[in-house]
Structure 1
Amino acid sequence: SNDTRLAGYRLLQHYRREHDWTRAFSRLAKELSGSYCFMILTKEGEVLAARDEAGFRPLCIGYDEENKTHIIASESCALTALHADFVRDVQPGELVRLTGEGVISTRFADPPRHYHCPFEYTYFAHPSSSIEGHNVYETRRQLGRVLARKYPFKADVVIPVPDSARPAALGYSEESGIPMEEGLMKDRYRKKGNLRSFIEPTDESREEIVREIITIKPVVEGKRVIVVDDSIVRGTSSKNIVRALRDAGAKKVYMVVTFPPIRHPCYMGIDFPTREELLANRVDGEDMAISELNKKVANEIGVDGLGYNDMEGLMKGIGLRQDEMCFACVTGNYLGLKKNPVVRTREEMKA
């Protein structure tokens, strides 16, 4: 079984007792601690959409003018693909019903505050999407500008780690005046299937994906290179990319990272579940200052200089306040959950 199936069974139990979807979701919300977005097709032909009261993950409503129909999507990029218009975000704790009469909105839970995941903006979401009124591409571009002001490394070229760091690399280039080039390319002709490394379940599969990233030698040979990446989770990708750049003749390799150091597991939908897997925790384990952590992680992955973003820089780039986002993976404070999680190793979870 899995958590989605169990939650679905429990919701159905509540609905059979209450005969009302809003009350059923209200009962379920009291029992769940974590992130969820539900979409349900009822036997009456209605579409239901519900977003957890913390609003960890995005969910939005669109409208197709040609077919005169409303659409529910996890991201606004799906609406664009269907030539539909974005209407609004589904609010935390809101249940939306698409019926023959139109859209019916009710509230099944009262949100304490918004806990949107900033990792959506730096990595997870499609660059063309807009979340909570902030375009993902422009957010990443602004984060690059923030990093250029924070870490003005002397270099000849700025290159992104494909694909999500491209807008940030452009922003760094624009702010610093250092030209941006594509020094790393994903070989889509050889690799089939997933091309996003950190969400792979094993080190072997993650390293296999990183090996499919090709270095463009004329771009980096004999040059001081600034690599822009969205995050460092386990460090697997970073080490291999740095090694490939040095093999291609890079004279110096620096790295800047749009997301702050990830020291704690996520229990709200992102796959970094155990502390021992997280590089920032392995080299530190405590709340070391970012300036010192930069040196330790730089030595670990083999770069000449490293620059992590901090929470203030991330908030500035995204344009949201700290009390509108979840920073549990950075701080270890799981404020958006109803109870503190039990932190276990991967071996303990398998037992």
Structure 2
Amino acid sequence: MATSIFPGEAPDRPEEECAVFGVYSQTDDVARLTCFGLQALQHRGQESAGIAVGDGETVTVTKDLGLVTQVFDESALAALKGRVAVGHCRYATSGGASWMSAQPHMSAIDEVLIALAHNGTLVNTNSIRADLIAKGVQFRSNTDSEVACQVIGYVTRETHHLTDGIQRAMETIEGAYAMVLASPTALYAFRDPHGIRPLCLGKLPGDRGWVVSSETCGLDIVGAEFVRDVNPGEIIRINETGISTLQAVQPAEPRGCIFEYVYFARPDSVIDGQSVYQARRAMGRVLAREAPVDADLVLGVPDSGVPGALGYAEASGLEFTDGIVKNRYVGRTFIQPTQEMRQMGIRIKLNPLPSVLRGKRIVVIDDSIVRGNTSKQLVSMLRAAGAIEVHLRIVSPEVMWPCFYGIDTATQDQLIAANMTNEEMCAFIGCDSLAFISLAGLREACGNAQHKTFCEACFTGEYPVALPESITKTAFLTKGE
């Protein structure tokens, strides 16, 4: 769950941009299945949700700001009838938070409507937008998803084949993307050449249809069986004649985002053959080996820190405990808080157990530190609950570089690890000791992934997709610069 709750509040975790989901079935209620799929993927974005349905003649969309259950009720779903559906839930990075930026994005190709849902971020949209505007194309928003739609539409008008338009778009756009697209009669799924963002294919029982989802947990909730991941650079098309595939662009070196295993993905998902839960538990075991400490208890920051805490306790021999209670009914809200509520900060979501922590030396396992403000509040809260020592252990390396591939990390001047030494961070946060897992240790914990090369740019500054100067000239300035 996102650490930022209130409007205008900067997150202190890397925030995933969104989730995508798609269904093709001639027998099932595709909108309802998509709604449940998006609920399973809600952790990937809480600012807006939308579903578009193709009924053989046209495409209809319902979308709005809010959680999936706030946007869709029985009457909304009843109005979305068809055989193909795509859905989206969003955490805004490109385009900001507005109804126009909510997805799926609708676009007209002559008389045919299409709906596109996108997880990721494109890095060369400025040049593509300028080129299309020069050709007379008009834009309604500033999202990179609309840029992709307009490229698809421009080429499709020339060739009269939607697959050609998608292929040309994949040859043109650069960055990270996992996309699903609905026409009135077909479902399309496609992924960038590096496979940075996850996307998988599943099949409904009894040959009732096909499902695509950002994570396998989306397949599970609708009873679909996992078939395989969508390959990098591949287009999958599903319609009344069945399923077909096209290697639209040459696949590059696999670079799936390693932070999916650390924080973004649900623990019950499997990405590239690696169980997310088992990876997180292994991270804790590695961290216990790399950064041991003499303490009484180990606890994890709910939810993503808990498997790591179990692994740390297992490897260290220290006792695991539930020392922090999470309020699971607090999500993102558009209700303006009082100043007193803002000052309470993290306590809105997390509350310590003094009866467990009083007089104890504790090891606290968390997934990441971006700005450091949430960690500072957490340590202060644990000390107020009676902990006599607080040792912070992080199951990701130091986040030193911004991400431009669909994650809302800050510019480098706002990343605490890029501007402070470990000792300075420890003093700022107020913990007794602070340690991060090594990059080699993180890779070891994800050792069951089929592809052993990851996107690790937020740790190393090595970006698998080249970045234009318009991005790099401002994003890489530290506080000292």
Bin for the TM-score computed over the shorter chain: 0.7 to 0.9
* Distance in 2, Cα, partners of 1:26 & 1:78: 26
Matches within 5 A, 1:308-347: 308-319=436-447, 320=449, 324-337=453-466, 339=468, 341-344=471-474
8 A Cα contact 1:41 1:48, kept in partner = yes
Matches within 5 A, 1:189-268: 191-193=330-332, 208-209=345-346, 211-268=348-405
Distance 1:281 1:73, change over 3 A: same
Letter in 2 for 1:255: L
How far is the alpha carbon of 1:336 from its aligned partner? Answer: 2.9
Could you tell me which residue of structure 2 aligns to residue 46 of structure 1? Answer: 186
Give the match's secondary structure for 1:120. helix
Query: Cα RMSD between the aligned structures?
Result: 2.3
Corresponding pairs, count = 327
8 A Cα contact 1:146 1:317, kept in partner = yes
8 A Cα contact 1:185 1:216, kept in partner = yes
In the superposition, the TM-score normalised over structure 1's length comes to: 0.87
Identify the structure with the greater strand proportion.
2
How far is the alpha carbon of 1:67 from its aligned partner? Answer: 5.6
* Distance in 2, Cα, partners of 1:114 & 1:18: 31
* Distance in 1, Cα, partners of 2:348 & 2:376: 11
Distance 1:211 1:160, change over 3 A: same
Which region of structure 1 is more displaced relative to structure 2, 154-163 or 294-303? 294-303
How far is the alpha carbon of 1:84 from its aligned partner? Answer: 1.3
* Distance in 2, Cα, partners of 1:332 & 1:119: 14
How far is the alpha carbon of 1:183 from its aligned partner? Answer: 0.9
How far is the alpha carbon of 1:188 from its aligned partner? Answer: 3.2
Letter in 2 for 1:193: R
1:243-278 CA distance string (max 9 Å, x none): 001111111100111111111110001110311111
8 A Cα contact 1:267 1:273, kept in partner = no
In the superposition, the TM-score normalised over structure 2's length comes to: 0.64
8 A Cα contact 2:180 2:190, kept in partner = yes
- Structure 2 portions without partners, runs of 5+: 1-140, 334-340, 477-481
1:20-62 CA distance string (max 9 Å, x none): 344323321232221111111112x110000111111100000
Matches within 5 A, 1:53-64: 53-64=193-204
How far is the alpha carbon of 1:102 from its aligned partner? Answer: 2.1
Distance 1:131 1:188, change over 3 A: closer
- Structure 1 portions without partners, runs of 5+: 195-203, 284-292, 347-351
Letter in 2 for 1:149: R
Give the match's secondary structure for 1:256. strand
* Distance in 1, Cα, partners of 2:241 & 2:361: 61
- Aligned counterpart in structure 1 of residue 411 of structure 2, from 260, 269, 274: 274
Residue identity over aligned pairs, in percent, reads: 37
8 A Cα contact 1:15 1:21, kept in partner = yes
* Distance in 2, Cα, partners of 1:150 & 1:321: 25
How far is the alpha carbon of 1:334 from its aligned partner? Answer: 1.3
Is structure 2 residue 140 aligned with structure 1 residue 3? Answer: no
* Distance in 2, Cα, partners of 1:250 & 1:111: 51
Could you tell me which residue of structure 1 aligns to residue 71 of structure 2? Answer: none
Distance 1:210 1:35, change over 3 A: farther
* Distance in 1, Cα, partners of 2:241 & 2:415: 49
Letter in 1 for 2:472: V
Give the match's secondary structure for 1:35. strand
8 A Cα contact 2:402 2:475, kept in partner = no
Matches within 5 A, 1:53-132: 53-66=193-206, 68-132=208-272
Is structure 2 residue 437 aligned with structure 1 residue 298? Answer: no
Distance 1:119 1:192, change over 3 A: closer
* Distance in 1, Cα, partners of 2:343 & 2:223: 35
* Distance in 2, Cα, partners of 1:67 & 1:30: 33
8 A Cα contact 1:22 1:107, kept in partner = no
How far is the alpha carbon of 1:106 from its aligned partner? Answer: 0.5
Distance 1:159 1:75, change over 3 A: same
1:211-243 CA distance string (max 9 Å, x none): 431011111110010000011111121100000
Which region of structure 1 is more displaced relative to structure 2, 22-31 or 117-126? 22-31
How far is the alpha carbon of 1:322 from its aligned partner? Answer: 8.9
Give the match's secondary structure for 2:180. strand
How far is the alpha carbon of 1:210 from its aligned partner? Answer: 5.0
Letter in 2 for 1:262: V
* Distance in 1, Cα, partners of 2:174 & 2:416: 27
Give the match's secondary structure for 1:86. strand
Distance 1:177 1:206, change over 3 A: farther
Could you tell me which residue of structure 2 aligns to residue 28 of structure 1? Answer: 169
* Distance in 2, Cα, partners of 1:58 & 1:130: 10
Could you tell me which residue of structure 2 aligns to residue 140 of structure 1? Answer: 280
8 A Cα contact 1:207 1:236, kept in partner = no
Give the match's secondary structure for 1:342. helix
8 A Cα contact 2:197 2:256, kept in partner = yes
